[in-house]
DNA sequence: ACGTGGTGCAACCACCGAGTTGCACAGGCG
DNA sequence: CGCCTGTGCAACTCGGTGGTTGCACCACGT
């Protein structure tokens, strides 16, 4: 269920998307609200939100006539754990190779 | 020292780059070697390596007539720690807001 | 009922980046 | 010395995507 983390990084690779995430990290907001606070159109925000939702980083909920979005920190922590695991594996392999060569 | 993690995510957002990293995670290799094992040209590999080096995820060293590259797992772990920290912050804020609204 | 603010949908543009090919240069090895 | 392999540099193509504008629709408040 480690839903490939590639899409997550693809999502995190854009500055505007980070701005959106950072803002949502402060608290839930609607697309229009975000468009007001950021230097891009609402449509652009909407597209970014779609990407973020697809990556599992944001959750959306219809609330009356507006749609409220909130950042999912848990997902980010999951990715972090996975990343750390991979990093350690690399270093471990490298150490083994190095030890093998030193004799 | 938190060397902006933005470039790291930009680097990790590409599938081919992950393939290169995964391969380097198995052990050091030259650009030509990588080009042989992956379905892309050597030049493409070279460009990806430049990006990865810029992101601090790969280290290169000239070894005779070839250049050997190796993955830096430590960097990955650093990014992971940072990510986890951010994720927890978001969730903490969200919890506070929720608690505030429930009374 | 009517106006307003929020969403959804579609067409469109511009640029960046992934990938390629071609060629010149450098360093081992017979 | 000559050959072969690996690297470096440059020009070029092409698709994806971040961004925009315009319009239709829906829900809430007065």
Question: Is A1 a domain residue?
Answer: no
Q: Which residues of A touch B (CB under 8 A)?
A: 6, 9-13, 15, 18, 24-28, 70-77, 79-81, 83-84, 86-94, 97
- pLDDT at res. A101: 82
Question: Is B14 a domain residue?
Answer: yes
| Geometric angle at alpha carbon A51, from A46 and A57, rounded to 5° | 105
Q: Are B11 and B4 in contact (CB under 8 A)?
A: no
What's the pLDDT band for A2 if we cut at 50, 70, 90?
low
Q: Indicate the helix (H) or strand (E) that contains A61.
A: strand A58-63
Tokens of B35: 């080009």
Nearest CA in chain A to B90: A25
A97: chain B residues, CB-CB within 8 Å: 27-28
Question: Is B1 a domain residue?
Answer: no
Whether B92 has a pLDDT exceeding 60, the answer reads: yes
Stretch A44-68: mean pLDDT: 97
What's the pLDDT band for A3 if we cut at 50, 70, 90?
low
Phi-psi region of B64 (alpha: psi -120 to 50; beta: other; left: phi over 0): left
Question: Is A46 a domain residue?
Answer: yes
pLDDT in tens, A80-100: 999 999 999 999 999 999 998
Alpha-carbon gap, residue A97 to A62, rounded angstroms: 54
CATH number at residue A46: 1.10.10.10
Domain count of chain A?
A: 1
Question: Is A86 a domain residue?
Answer: yes
Full domain range(s) for residue B80: 6-101
Q: Which residues partner with A66 through β-bridges?
A: A63
Whether B2 has a pLDDT exceeding 60, the answer reads: no
Q: Indicate the helix (H) or strand (E) that contains A29.
A: strand A29-30
Question: Is A82 a domain residue?
Answer: yes
Strands A29-30 and A66-71 turn out to be antiparallel
């Amino acid at each position: 269920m480690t839903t490939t983390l590639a899409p997550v990084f693809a999502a995190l690779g854009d500055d505007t998307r980070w701005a959106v995430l950072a803002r949502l990290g402060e608290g839930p907001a609607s697309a229009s609200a975000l468009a007001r606070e950021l230097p891009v159109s609402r449509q652009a925000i909407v597209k970014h939100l779609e990407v973020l939702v697809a990556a599992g980083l944001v959750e959306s909920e219809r609330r009356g006539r507006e749609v409220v979005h909130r950042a999912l920190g848990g997902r980010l922590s999951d990715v972090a754990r996975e990343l750390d695991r991979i990093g350690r594996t690399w270093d471990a392999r490298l150490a083994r190779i190095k030890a093998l060569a030193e004799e």
